[in-house]
């Protein structure tokens, strides 16, 4: 009898299932040492990295992607090997192994370029740009991300063009090019909205809000951040809800509204706690307490 796929009524149920089954699913990838399981191991890893990225389980992401890369090499499948390399590089960047991530993504880019897979080449360029940004090599990062954006335009992939635009906006903001960052992230947000990727739309709203804060346009920033926060809440993504609330608190702080800033940092701490992000929750709570202390230490006019 053929296996029937498990159906879930909503994403929360699917994530709960993955949470419960994660140890076993990762252990299964050990079977990739056997030739008969290698192809399936690569496919399983490709599915798992999406879940692990969302749950911020980056160490597991490295483990899973290394297993997939090893299996793809034993299969003698360079296309799958390059795809697994892209996933591995992303996980390595997340755990701070930036130099290895740059090497992995450079090799993936070179392979896809050599076989004329321009869409996959563009994905590798984008990933490489993020690695270079993490390494503090901003000029090279902007060059790589611009190349990714241009390639996505050539192949006509508006969705991934939006991804590159959003990443480019972050890089420009990091270099202090705030006006350019606002332009790029606003274009990314609009494209994500057009293609129906609401989660990335919310991320672009958060990045746009950050750039608007840097530009001193806090009223617009609060509006943009509010839109992102609502989407993340609807999706049950509590980590990024916390990130957005942190940025809203910065807006209130800049506008000298300390009580509102305290409220947002407390809410951010609660969101981080729901996401299991203990460090971020503690940091947000400390910021709330510090702001509260400063609030009452200020002299009365």
Q: CA-to-CA distance for 74 and 81, rounded, in angstroms?
A: 9
- Specify the DSSP class assigned to residue 35: G
Question: Other C-beta atoms within 10 Å of 87: how many?
Answer: 26
In the three-class reduction of DSSP (H, G, I as helix; E, B as strand; rest coil), residue 61 is classed as: helix
pLDDT tens sequence across 224-283: 999 999 999 999 999 999 999 999 999 999 999 999 999 999 999 999 999 989 999 999
Q: CA-to-CA distance for 242 and 245, rounded, in angstroms?
A: 5
- Specify the DSSP class assigned to residue 55: T
Angle of the 11-28 helix axis to the 58-75 helix axis, nearest 10: 60
Name the pTM for this structure.
0.87
Q: CA-to-CA distance for 166 and 156, rounded, in angstroms?
A: 17
Which residues, in sequence order, are CB contacts of 262 under 8 Å at separation 6+?
249, 288, 291, 292, 295
Residue 14 — pLDDT band, cuts 50, 70, 90?
A: confident
* Percent of the chain residues topping a pLDDT of 90: 68
Look over the chain and give the mean of its residue pLDDT values, rounded to a whole number. Answer: 90
pLDDT tens sequence across 58-106: 999 999 999 888 888 888 888 888 888 999 999 999 999 999 999 999 9
Q: Is the pLDDT of residue 153 over 80?
A: yes
């Amino acid at each position: 009898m053929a296996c029937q796929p498990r159906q879930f009524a909503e994403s929360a149920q699917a994530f709960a299932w993955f949470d419960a089954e994660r140890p076993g699913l990762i252990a299964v990838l050990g079977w990739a040492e056997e030739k008969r399981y290698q192809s399936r191991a690569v496919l399983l890893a490709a599915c798992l990295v999406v879940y692990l990225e969302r749950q911020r389980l980056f160490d597991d992401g490295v483990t899973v992607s290394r297993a997939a890369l090893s299996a793809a090499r034993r299969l003698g499948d360079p296309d799958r090997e390059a795809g697994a390399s892209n996933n591995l590089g992303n996980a390595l960047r997340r755990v701070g192994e930036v130099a290895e991530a740059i090497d992995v993504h450079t090799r993936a880019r070179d392979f896809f370029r050599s076989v004329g897979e321009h869409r996959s080449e563009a994905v590798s360029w984008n990933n490489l740009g993020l690695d270079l940004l993490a390494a503090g090599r901003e000029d090279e990062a902007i060059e790589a991300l611009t190349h990714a954006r241009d390639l996505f335009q050539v192949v006509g992939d508006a969705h991934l063009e939006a991804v590159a635009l959003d990443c480019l906006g972050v890089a420009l903001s990091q270099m202090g090019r705030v006006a350019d960052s606002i332009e790029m992230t606003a274009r990314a947000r609009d494209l994500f909205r057009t293609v129906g990727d609401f989660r990335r739309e919310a991320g672009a709203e958060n990045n746009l809000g950050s750039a608007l804060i840097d530009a001193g346009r806090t009223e617009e920033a609060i509006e943009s951040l509010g839109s992102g926060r609502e989407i993340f809440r609807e999706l049950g993504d509590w980590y990024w809800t916390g990130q957005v609330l942190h940025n809203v608190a910065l807006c209130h702080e800049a506008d000298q509204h300390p009580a509102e800033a305290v409220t947002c940092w407390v809410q951010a701490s609660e969101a981080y706690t729901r996401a299991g992000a203990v460090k971020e929750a503690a940091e947000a709570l400390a910021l709330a307490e510090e702001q509260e202390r400063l609030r009452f230490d200020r002299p009365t006019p």
